[in-house]
Every structure is written in C-alpha cells, then in structure tokens.
Amino acid sequence: MSLYSKRGVSAQKEEVHAATKHLNQGLYPHAFCKIYPDFLGQDANWVNVMHADGAGTKSILAYLYWKQTGDSSVWKGIAQDAIVMNLDDLLCVGIYDNIVFNSTIDGNKHFIPGEVLAAIINGSQEIFDLLNNYGVHIHYLGGETADVGDVVRTIAVNGTMTCRWPADKIISNDKIAAGDVIVGFASDGQANYETEYNSGLGSNGLTSARHDVLSKWYANEFKESYDNNLPNDVVYIGKHLLTDEITLPNSTQKTTIGKLLLSPTRTYAPVLTYLLQHHFEEIHGLIHCSGGGQTKCMKYLPGNFTIVKDNLFTPPVIFDIIQQNSGSNNKEMYEVFNMGCRMEVYCKPEAAAIMIAAAEQHGIAAQIIGRVEASDTKQLIIQLPNEELRY
C-alpha cells in the first residue's frame, strides 16, 4: 500500500467515482466539467455549468507557516488556490468570462481568528481584480463562512463557480483524435503576471507533500494539523522545517521549503483566454493535470487511445524534495503530482506552435510533451530518461 493510501487519500478517487457513476453525466461526458442544458435561461443555444473545488489540505500548510512565522499574507495564496482550482477547470471546457464565484470557509474558531478570514476574503477580491485585467470577469457574491470546530481541526477553504455559456463555444474533448499532439504548459517558473517564483506544486498531493517533507516536530507542536488516528510512521516523516532555506537550481535565488510548498496555484487564464478567443477551432481538448497528476487525461478521452508522453518537462525541485524525503517511486509520483506540467492542450501538430507561442508570451514554458495514438484500449505510457511507466 502506498503512503498516499495509508494516509486515507486516493489519487484516483475510486470511491467517489463509484458513488457518482449513476448520476447524470451531463451533455458532454468527456468534458472536463459537467455541462447541463440552460436551466437558467431556457435557451437551447446556451449551457449551464456549476463547479466546486478548493484548496484541500494545503490550508493546513498555510496554518503551520502562519503559526511558525506570523506571516498572515500566506492566506491570500490559499484564496488563490481555491479560486484557480475552480477557474482552470472551467477553462478546460472553454469558459473564461462572466463567472459567478461563491466561497465556503469552514473554520475552527479556537485556532482561526478573524484576521485569517479577512486575509482570505480580501485576498480573493485582489485576485479577481488581477484577472479582470486579462478579460476574465468573475463576480464575487460572497458565500458561507462558518465556525464549525466540531467538523474541522483548522480551516477548509473551498468555492463554487457558476456560468451560463454559449453552447457552440464549449470544449468537450470529443475532438481529441489519433494523430493529435499534446502541448504542455509548465507549472513552475514565474509567469509575467506572477510576482515571484512558483514551485509548480499546485493544490494536489499536499497531504503527501506535507507529511513527506516536514519533520516530526510539527506532529508534536501542532497536533491539530493532522488526523491523530494515523499511524506514526506516516505522520510528518520528513527532515525539513518550513523555514529551511534552499537555493533554486541554476540560480543564486534563495527561498524556503515553506514558500515552495505554498506557492499559489498558477492560473493559465491569461493564456487560455487568448487562445479560446482567437484559436478556439484549433483546440481539440484541454486537460487540467490536477488530482491524478499526469494520469488525469485517462478519465476524459473520448475513446480508446494510447497516450504517449515522452517529452515531459524536467520535474521542478519541489518534486525532487518530496521524492527524496518519501522514497516514493516514479510511478506513484507521476500519479499523484503534476511533476511540472499542469495544463495540456490537445491539437493537430500544425497548431502546436500557436499554443506554445501564446504560453511563452506570458512567461510560461511550453512544449510538445506527447501524442495521441490509435489503440484497442485506453492506456498511458510515460517515457522517462531511464524508465517507462504504464497506466
């Protein structure tokens, strides 16, 4: 059993999929978000989408960092995580504008004071103001903030996005076909709309990242930060403190383990908004490599294909740190984490240069990472320099 499973977490969410398999799959079963007829406007030319997601257990890392350093600005990053995990899913079905956002913040008042709630709420508005500059208009209509100490140990930050969108402007993934290439957008670096280096970790696999990287000191000092029923050998098994300094590879720039783990999830909204406005027809599919990491694409293929990823980015340093501390093998790492590539664009080979140029114009590395091949079954092959992974 993997460390991930021992901690009560599933990369593939098998139990969730089993529980929901009989529900209506919407108009486009292969689309990244569930899409329904226009219940709001009763117009056959429009569709409705309501999507929910959040920062997950990354909020616990923010709590530890805030308690250790007193830096409350870290909570704006958690606000961004909850927003981007919704927004970038919507981008994958072609939606980028005139979106309604409602937040849900569940806190334990014994540990989470009003200053934290204010930092999250005000930070959310700052992010919406930034996105507005790129033609992404999100209407922040409030939400639910509750003190539920009997339910949560520290804080859970989630949100819901709703939109009414033209039916002929949906990316359903049904156009993905053999012969397509996959253009990957890097998750690390510093986009020209970001203020500092982004580790690329995102908001998935943070239960493993936290316990694998951080030392047992956190278990002793902050028992509210983990499930006390977990076996001791999977709780905070790493060697680091959040304040430990590290020099970034090929650079003299220093950062900390905490900054790497808490890098706000990058949004690809500025890039994808441009592409959806000007090159909609060239996009055959979009996959957000979130839960499930590099295997996420398998869930949304419109038929039996072999996906070959043989030119992925070199994993950013944060994933090296996680793997060195945990001892996890490559197969588990690529199933849990994005490993440096968090957005995939499926298109014809001749359109790849357009996708790459759009990303690079925004300061994001991009390249062809793989291809789609005809097959009798669905399978994924990840070719690393010295190893082949099959899923």
Residue 6 lies in a domain: no
Rounded to whole angstroms, how far apart are CA atoms 155 and 164?
A: 31
Q: What residues are paired with 28 via a beta bridge? A: none
Rounded to whole angstroms, how far apart are CA atoms 229 and 196?
A: 37
Asked if pLDDT for residue 379 goes beyond 80, the answer is yes
Sheet containing 99-107: order of strands? 36-37, 46-54, 155-166, 99-107, 138-147
CB burial readout 16-27, b (16+ within 10 A) else e? eeeeeeeeeebe
Q: How do residues 302-312 score in pLDDT, each as one tens digit?
A: 999 999 999 99
**14-23, 285-294, 352-361 — which is least confidently predicted?**
14-23
Q: Average pLDDT in the 34-49 region? A: 96
Q: Can you say how many angstroms the Cα of residue 184 is from the centroid of all Cα atoms in its chain?
A: 14
Q: What is the pLDDT of residue 249?
A: 86
- Give me the sign of the Cα torsion angle 194, 58, 136, 337: positive
What range defines the domain where residue 81 resides? 24-195+262-390
Alpha helices in 145-303 (DSSP H): 206-213, 217-221, 257-261, 269-278
Pick the closest to residue 4 from 360, 323, 374, 351 (CA basis). 323
Pick the closest to residue 83 from 215, 283, 305, 267 (CA basis). 267
- pLDDT band at 251; cut points 50, 70, 90: confident
CATH assignment of the domain containing 167: 3.30.1330.10
Sequence-distant (≥ 6) Cβ neighbours of residue 19 within 8 angstroms: none
Q: What is the pLDDT of residue 9?
A: 66
Portion of the chain with pLDDT greater than 90, in percent: 92
The CA-based angle 157-33-62, given to 5 degrees, is: 20
The CA-based angle 234-238-243, given to 5 degrees, is: 135
Q: In terms of domains, do 111 and 241 share one?
A: no
Residue 315 lies in a domain: yes
Q: In terms of domains, do 288 and 370 share one?
A: yes
Residue 18 lies in a domain: no
Asked if pLDDT for residue 19 goes beyond 80, the answer is no
Q: How do residues 129-178 score in pLDDT, each as one tens digit?
A: 999 999 999 999 999 999 999 999 999 999 999 999 999 999 999 999 99
Q: What is the pLDDT of residue 250?
A: 84
Q: What is the pLDDT of residue 10?
A: 55
Residue 16 lies in a domain: no
Residue 3 lies in a domain: no
Q: What is the pLDDT of residue 24?
A: 76
Residue 358 lies in a domain: yes
The CA-based angle 135-359-174, given to 5 degrees, is: 80
Q: What is the pLDDT of residue 17?
A: 52
Average of per-residue pLDDT values in the chain? 95
Q: How do residues 70-94 score in pLDDT, each as one tens digit?
A: 999 999 999 999 999 999 999 999 9
- pLDDT band at 16; cut points 50, 70, 90: low
Q: What is the pLDDT of residue 237?
A: 96
Q: In terms of domains, do 155 and 114 share one?
A: yes
Q: Average pLDDT in the 103-121 region? A: 97
Q: In terms of domains, do 131 and 169 share one?
A: yes
Rounded to whole angstroms, how far apart are CA atoms 125 and 115?
A: 16
Q: In terms of domains, do 120 and 175 share one?
A: yes
Q: In terms of domains, do 176 and 244 share one?
A: no
Asked if pLDDT for residue 14 goes beyond 80, the answer is no
Q: In terms of domains, do 185 and 75 share one?
A: yes
Instruction: Provide the 10 A C-beta neighbour count for residue 2.
Output: 17
- pLDDT band at 25; cut points 50, 70, 90: confident
Which amino acid appears at position 255 of this protein?
T
Cβ pair 52, 247 in contact under 8 A: no
Q: State the pairing for strand pair 366-374/285-288.
A: unpaired
Number of separate domains in the chain: 2
- pLDDT band at 22; cut points 50, 70, 90: low
Q: State the pairing for strand pair 245-247/254-256.
A: antiparallel
The pTM for the full model equals 0.94
Q: In terms of domains, do 232 and 132 share one?
A: no
The domain boundary, picked from 261, 277, 300, lies at 261
Instruction: Provide the 10 A C-beta neighbour count for residue 71.
Output: 12
Q: In terms of domains, do 114 and 181 share one?
A: yes
Q: In terms of domains, do 78 and 64 share one?
A: yes
Rounded to whole angstroms, how far apart are CA atoms 205 and 265?
A: 13
- pLDDT band at 98; cut points 50, 70, 90: very high
Q: In terms of domains, do 233 and 367 share one?
A: no
Q: What is the pLDDT of residue 4?
A: 54
Q: Average pLDDT in the 204-212 region? A: 95
